[in-house]
Structure 1
Amino acid sequence: MEVTLRQENKNDFESVFQLIEKAFEKEEHSDHKEQFLVERLRKSDAFIPELSVVAESDNRIVGHILFTRLKIINDKDVFNCLSLAPVSVLPDFQRKGIGSKLILYGHEVAKKLGYKFVILLGHQDYYPRFGYELCEKYNIKMPFDVPSENCMVFALIKDGLHNVSGNVIYPLGFFE
């Protein structure tokens, strides 16, 4: 199966909405509203068009990933970074490496755009294979109560997390 990755465009929005809805339909740890999150984030200042990526197979969108702007703030510094949320693959195409391709491609684009690291809330058994580590290792704190094993960070460049610590500040688009 050949998969092509490209930047999402406005003509993809409805297909991506339906894809995300189907991808999370049976997810136990989901509020099943990820498709609405993506819609809100597209309209926010956090949106970066180059980091909204679709995966196509046979001219059909089968996957999507979104990275958006995020900040970490402590007493001395503000760190600009990215949030990865969500990664979505149609159920019939899951476990075929599409999610991995989207993540690795997104990392490369993010590096080219000058970002140093990525934060996410995700499955503790999936993301470490890409090098994601627990946020608590860097004293990075989420603004809401979530299990620490699901809060992860990834340095896109060598020393990308040097001296990084503080509180994650999500943009308004993340919340209804």
Structure 2
Amino acid sequence: MTPADWQVLRDITFEAFGRQYEVDYLDALRAEPNAWIPGLGCVATVDERPIAYALLSRASVGSTAVLSLGPVAVLPAYQRQGAGDAAVRATLALGVERAEPAVVVLGHDQYYPRFGFRQATGFGIHHPQYDGPNLMALALGDRGVPAGPLTYPVDG
């Protein structure tokens, strides 16, 4: 992913979610140096046209730095065809390569378990707004998932 992709990602985000909220969150992540990690995202393409993407940014659980997955967005015409799945798997592989301990996601509780995510409270991770089945975590290595309060540099 390059800086030239940014407007395309914004457009995919708006089309995928149908509202500006997620686009504004994406922009806030990119603008926050404590959250944004250049190069930690993947774009899926069809005939060299970007159709989906997944991003990792910084969050923390207690005093341990972890990754946060999202946004993940797919153009509506390509949803349920594997583009989002491919983008997520490739992006998680980047986190593994960086030897990051874990990743959290706030997302659909029927979608993210296919990647190994489990409910975050089962790991002892809590967030005052997001505790519940949609907050999930995944160990990326053998260090395990840390426990404690989850904080995001940018709360959506």
Matched with 2:37 is 48
AA paired with 2:9? V
From 144, 147, 153, the equivalent of 1:165 is 147
Say which is worse superposed, 63-72 or 52-61, in terms of deviation.
52-61
**Structure 2 unaligned runs (5+)?**
none
AA paired with 2:149? N
The yes-or-no answer on 1:88 pairing with 2:73 is yes
Quote how far apart the aligned CAs of 1:174 are. 3.2
From 65, 72, 83, the equivalent of 2:54 is 65
Per-residue deviation, residues 77-96 of structure 1 (Å, max 9, x unmatched): x1110011111000001111
Deviating 4+ runs (over 2 angstroms): none
Between structure 1 and structure 2, the one with the greater Rg is 1
Give TM-score scaled by structure 1 length: 0.83
Identity %: 31
Please give the alpha-carbon distance, in whole angstroms, between the structure 2 residues aligned to 1:115 and 1:147: 23
Quote how far apart the aligned CAs of 1:32 are. 4.5
Matched with 1:14 is 7
Matched with 2:98 is 113
Matched pairs, number = 155
Please give the alpha-carbon distance, in whole angstroms, between the structure 1 residues aligned to 2:131 and 2:102: 21
Q: Determine helix, strand or coil for the equivalent of 2:60.
A: strand
On the 8 A contact 1:71/1:170 being kept in 2, the answer is yes
What RMSD, in angstroms, separates the aligned Cα atoms of the two structures?
Answer: 1.4
Q: Determine helix, strand or coil for the equivalent of 1:86.
A: strand
From 110, 126, 137, the equivalent of 1:153 is 137
Per-residue deviation, residues 131-174 of structure 1 (Å, max 9, x unmatched): 10111111110131x3511110011113422xx21100110x33
Matched with 2:88 is 103
Please give the alpha-carbon distance, in whole angstroms, between the structure 1 residues aligned to 2:97 and 2:131: 31
